[in-house]
């Protein structure tokens, strides 16, 4: 490696052509000197050479992860500002700030300092609201980003581990959301913590002690806000930042996926270079995301803790709801059928808590390991850089829709009381309908989605073979009526025919002539996945098919 460089060889290609004739401007000479100074100390030119013109493919759905990333930056910026004013203490004070209705009310320092941020610090309310909206955007964007990854099969080899990292990021985001939501120590978030306390206490063997340790004694204690604050601003963000960095490193290592298309193959990446196009677009997009979040923070009140008042274990308002992203967990508690708690061997078994906890854990574990399950079923060891259109993986898409509906039923259940009062239904009725939807929704969703996918694949086949229906009806000299089909050009056709096709696994005996149970199981899953399949159009079919109309 040559470390001896003269200023003449420093990177300044733009200035090069003008050098012999005109004297260089001061600014270009300064840029050159500065670049040289930095490179001689950091070897940064190598990084620019390696990544400056790296290609990023372009598609709207690839921006979802960017939205998540940018809202995280907004969260860091606004959150840092808030830490300068927030006091994570549960010491009782008498509120004496600007908000008149709460003057003279006893509350924790946490609550009182949050009110001060909202009413006595200029711009404090704005920043607080931007912070909360950014957090909601962050979690929503991660969720939608995960759906995009799932439905396009972007989790396949070599990206399975990055799916796991992304999943951890999602869980961390939920934890960040919940810990942050609980910090103001207002009535609503306090009730949320009360539910968490009850939930933990219901866990067998360890529950009582975990709750006791977490709250530093009996609920609510005087420790929990400070502890959540440590988690919220130190531990969780640190892990999150590391995981996020790792997530992005893997995006670089793997290079971004892309859609199949004319010129876009599994061996290349087509798009715009980081410098200047992608940097400008992504940088601009950061400010747009920030702008939209700031707009929400400006105009839409979020978490008006002054309406709720300080936490007190006795009062509660009707329509108590967690922030939306925790809703699915709350809904799971609500949907439990009555009477699921027993006393056995002098101990209390709270299955009304254990079951929902197990169901939620099972659900997220399935999400976590799905890439490995699918990889095992297909046995496909190739790298996949071309995205699947959801219709071209009908079973996967149908499973995804079933999962979404399962989540939706839990989520809807968290608002059962609001639904009942708004639409004047009985609470019992809403719960029972939701219980039915929790089971029937995914099943129906699965069946319908799979059929829709297969139908769309058939349609694609038709179009690839025979072209579009043009809507023009022509009468032939013989009196026969036909509709003229407009053939697709080769670019359009390529998008319809270039996809992965799998067959069900044929069971074969292994070297010792045995067929193992594991093999049978795998073959069964494979049949379930690939029994109904629409093969892509082959050149032969197109030849024999053309001229049919």
Residues 99-138 contacting another protein, CB under 8 A: 99-100, 119-120, 122-123, 125-126, 129
Q: Select from 68, 173, 326, 336 the one that contacts another protein (CB under 8 A).
A: 336
Which helix or strand (DSSP H or E) is residue 123 part of?
A: none
Residue 289, Cβ density class (10 Å: 0-12 exposed, 13-18 middle, ≥19 buried): buried
Q: Give the footprint of another protein on residues 417-476 (CB under 8 A).
A: 417, 427-428, 431
Stretch that binds another protein, among 80-88, 95-103, 365-373, 387-395 (CB under 8 A): 95-103
Beta-ladder partners of 347: 344
Neighbouring residues of 116: CB distance < 8 A, sequence distance ≥ 6: 85, 97, 124
Region near another protein per CB under 8 A, out of 5-13, 49-57, 358-366, 389-397: 49-57
Near another protein by CB under 8 A, which window of 23-31, 35-43, 139-147, 267-275? 267-275
Q: By C-beta, is 323 or 498 nearer to another protein? A: 498
CA gyration radius for the chain?
A: 29
- In what helix (H) or strand (E) does residue 1 lie, and over which residues does it extend? none
Q: Using the rule CB under 8 A, is 272 a contact of another protein?
A: yes
Q: Which stretch binds another protein (CB under 8 A): 6-14, 297-305, 403-411, 438-446?
A: 297-305
Residues 1-30 that bind another protein (CB under 8 A): none
* The only residue of 221, 226, 524, 545 in contact with another protein, by rule CB under 8 A: 221
Interface with another protein in residues 503-532 (CB under 8 A) = 503-506, 508-511, 519, 526, 530
Distances (CA, A) of 456 to 271, 389, 400, 512, 542: 28, 11, 17, 43, 19
Using CA atoms in the order 241, 244, 248, 254, what is the torsion angle rounded to 10 degrees?
A: 140
Q: How far apart are CA 471 and CA 493, in angstroms?
A: 20
In this structure, the number of other CB atoms found within 10 A of the CB of residue 129 comes to 23
Q: What are phi and psi of 488, to 5 degrees?
A: -85, 150
Stretch of 35-43, 51-59, 169-177, 360-368 contacting another protein, by CB under 8 A = 51-59
Comparing CA positions, the residue from 242, 297, 232 lying closest to residue 83 is 232
Please pick, from the candidates 239, 265, 433, 444, the single residue that binds another protein as defined by CB under 8 A: 265
Q: Cβ of 295: how many Cβ atoms within 10 Å?
A: 12
- Single out the residue of 484, 477, 492, 483 nearest to residue 537, CA to CA: 492
CB 166 → another protein: shortest distance, Å?
17
- Pick from 158, 304, 362, 429 the residue near another protein by CB under 8 A: 158
* Beta partners for residue 344, in sequence order: 347
Cβ nearer to another protein, comparing 149 with 419: 419
DSSP-based three-state secondary structure for 56? strand
Task: Tell me how far apart the alpha carbons of residues 333 and 109 are, in angstroms, rounded to a whole number.
Answer: 32
**SS3 of residue 194 by DSSP:** helix
Residue 281 is a binding residue for another protein (CB under 8 A): yes
Other CB atoms within a 10 A radius of the CB of residue 374 amount to 20
Min CB(152)–another protein separation in Å: 17
Per CB under 8 A, contacts with another protein among 224-263 are 227, 253-255, 262-263
Question: Is the distance from CB of 292 to CB of 376 less than 8 angstroms?
Answer: no
Residues in contact with another protein, counted by CB under 8 A, come to a total of 138
Q: Does 202 bind another protein (CB under 8 A)?
A: yes
Q: Which is nearer to another protein, 184 or 445 (CB)?
A: 184
Taking CB under 8 A as the rule, does residue 379 contact another protein? yes
> Residue 152 and residue 193: Cα distance in Å, rounded?
37
Q: Pick from 41, 381, 475, 548: which binds another protein (CB under 8 A)?
A: 381
- Residue 396 Cβ, how far from another protein at the closest point, in Å? 14
Q: How far is the CB of 547 from another protein (least distance, A)?
A: 18
Per CB under 8 A, the list member of 153, 166, 220, 445 interacting with another protein is 220
Residue range at the interface with another protein (CB under 8 A); choices 4-12, 22-30, 400-408, 489-497:
489-497
The values of phi and psi at residue 348, to 5°, are -100, 125
> Does residue 388 sit in helix, strand or coil?
coil
Distance of closest approach, residue 37 Cβ to another protein, in angstroms? 28
Give min distance, CB of 6 to another protein, in A: 31
Given candidates 91, 206, 242, 249, which one binds another protein under the rule CB under 8 A? 206
Q: How far is the CB of 483 from another protein (least distance, A)?
A: 26
Long-range contacts of 215-222 (CB under 8 A, 24+ apart): 219/193, 219/194, 219/313, 220/90, 220/190, 220/193, 220/194, 220/311, 220/313, 221/90, 222/90, 222/91
By CB under 8 A, tell whether 357 contacts another protein.
no
Is residue 186 within 8 A of residue 111, CB to CB? The reply is: yes
State the minimum distance, in angstroms, from the CB of residue 251 to another protein: 12
Please say which residue, 24 or 254, places its beta carbon nearer to another protein: 254
Closer of 147 and 270 to another protein (Cβ): 270
Give the C-alpha separation, 213 to 466, whole Å.
69
């Amino acid at each position: 490696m040559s470390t001896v460089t003269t200023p003449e060889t420093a990177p300044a290609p733009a200035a090069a052509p003008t050098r012999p004739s005109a004297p260089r401007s001061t600014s270009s000479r300064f840029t050159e000197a500065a670049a040289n100074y930095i490179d001689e100390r950091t070897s940064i030119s190598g990084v620019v050479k390696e990544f400056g013109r790296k290609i990023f493919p372009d598609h709207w759905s690839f921006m979802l992860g960017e939205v998540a990333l940018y809202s995280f930056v907004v969260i860091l910026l606004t959150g840092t500002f808030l830490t300068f004013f927030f006091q994570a203490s549960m010491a009782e004070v008498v509120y004496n700030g600007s908000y008149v209705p709460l003057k003279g009310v006893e509350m924790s320092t946490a609550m009182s300092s949050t009110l001060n941020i909202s009413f006595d610090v200029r711009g404090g309310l704005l920043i607080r609201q931007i912070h909360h909206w950014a957090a909601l955007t962050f979690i929503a964007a991660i969720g939608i980003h995960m759906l995009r990854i799932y439905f396009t099969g972007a989790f396949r080899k070599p990206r399975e581990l990055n799916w796991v990292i992304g999943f951890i990021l999602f869980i961390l985001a939920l934890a960040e959301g919940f810990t942050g939501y609980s910090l103001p120590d207002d009535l609503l978030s306090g009730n949320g913590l009360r539910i968490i306390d009850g939930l933990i206490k219901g866990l067998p063997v360890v529950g009582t002690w975990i709750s006791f340790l977490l709250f530093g004694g009996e609920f609510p204690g005087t420790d929990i806000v400070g502890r959540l604050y440590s988690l919220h601003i130190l531990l969780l963000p640190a892990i999150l930042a590391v995981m996020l960095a790792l997530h992005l490193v893997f995006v670089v290592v793997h290079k971004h996926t892309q859609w199949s298309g004319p010129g876009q193959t599994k061996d290349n990446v087509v798009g715009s270079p980081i410098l200047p196009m992608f940097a400008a677009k992504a940088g601009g997009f950061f400010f747009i995301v920030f702008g939209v979040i700031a707009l929400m923070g400006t105009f839409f009140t979020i978490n008006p803790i002054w309406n709720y008042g300080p936490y007190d274990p006795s009062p509660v308002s009707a329509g108590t709801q967690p922030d939306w992203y925790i809703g699915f967990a709350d809904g799971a508690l609500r949907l439990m059928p009555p009477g699921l708690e027993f006393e056995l061997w002098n101990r209390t078994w709270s299955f009304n808590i254990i079951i929902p906890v197990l169901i939620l854990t099972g659900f997220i574990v399935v999400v976590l390991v799905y890439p490995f399950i699918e990889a095992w079923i297909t046995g496909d060891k190739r790298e996949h850089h071309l995205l699947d259109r959801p219709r071209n993986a009908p079973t996967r898409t149908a499973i995804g829709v079933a999962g979404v509906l399962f989540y939706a039923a839990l989520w809807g259940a968290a608002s059962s009381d609001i639904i009942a009062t708004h639409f004047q239904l009985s609470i019992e009725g809403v719960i029972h309908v939701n219980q039915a939807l929790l089971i029937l929704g995914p099943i129906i969703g699965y069946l319908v989605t799979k059929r829709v996918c297969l139908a769309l694949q058939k349609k694609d086949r038709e179009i690839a073979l025979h072209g579009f229906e043009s809507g023009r009806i022509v009468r032939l000299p013989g009196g026969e009526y036909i509709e003229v089909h407009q053939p697709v050009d080769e670019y359009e056709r390529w998008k319809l025919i270039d996809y992965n096709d799998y067959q069900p696994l044929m069971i074969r005996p292994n070297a010792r002539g045995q067929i193992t149970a594991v093999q049978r199981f795998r073959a069964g899953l494979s049949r379930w996945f690939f029994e109904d399949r629409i093969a892509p159009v082959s050149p032969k079919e197109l030849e024999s098919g053309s001229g049919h109309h």
